[in-house]
Amino acid sequence: MNKKPFVIGIAGGSGSGKTFFLNCFLNHFSSDDICLVSQDDYYRAKHLQEIDENGWINFDLPEGIDDEKLYSDLSQLISGGTIQKKEYTFNVSEDKARMLTIKAAPIIIVEGLFIFHYTRVANLFDMRIFMDADEEITLNRRIKRDGEERGYDRDMVMYQWLNHVIPAYNAYLLPYKCTADKIIMNNTHVADDIINITQELSEELKHTVLAH
């Protein structure tokens, strides 16, 4: 790599559609052109997470992420290096986690809840994208996901939503919406809408970043 990579930060609340957006977006590039770093892979060990007054682990706090390591790894990638990181997957213990090898690429994508909140990390971004959706829609998506993937019943989802998710969104994510270069509303359930947005953005980046 002969020039600094173009670094894009993509943030959005739970249920805003970051995962689907990213999957669509990455499909427009080869693995040599783009790499992805996920904030979730920097969760601190479970015993280091905050416990709320009712004994629940609160995974929705910036302190739960090793942002220093995230910054260090991003700096390494921007310098043209390669990093190795264990993949975070809910209900998979750290010793069984898959080891990820991430190589530097002309475009680096960083995604996560708090990536705009960590000042040193946020200062690395050349473009900021904020994924947004109405609260009722994001809640319904969260209920569906946590029921299918984590076995949570509705009461468990609602407890986390009201006590962890929404307070964290309002405190650590929403204030940075105004700093975004692009705000993408994702209220629709029509996949073509997001596919079209990622198509337009990928063509823009291929013209402005990869063509030079």
Separation between Cα atoms, residue 65 and residue 191, nearest integer Å: 31
Q: What percent of the chain has pLDDT above 70? A: 96
pLDDT band at 159 (very low <50, low <70, confident <90, very high): very high
- 8-28 pLDDT per residue, tens: 999 999 999 898 999 999 999
Instruction: Extract the tokens encoding 19.
Output: 């995962």
What does the pLDDT look like over 108-126, one tens digit per residue?
999 999 999 999 999 999 9
Residue with the bigger pLDDT between 88 and 206: it is: 206
Q: Report whether pLDDT(62) > 80.
A: yes
pLDDT of residue 94: 74
Please give the structure tokens belonging to residue 134: 């109405």
pLDDT at 93 over 80: no
Distance CA 64, CA 48 (A): 7
Domains, in order of start, for the chain: 6-198 (3.40.50.300)
* Per-residue confidence band for 130, with pLDDT thresholds at 50, 70 and 90: very high
Predicted pLDDT of residue 2: 64
| Burial class of residue 136 in the structure, from the number of CB atoms within 10 Å of its CB (0-12 exposed, 13-18 middle, 19+ buried) | exposed
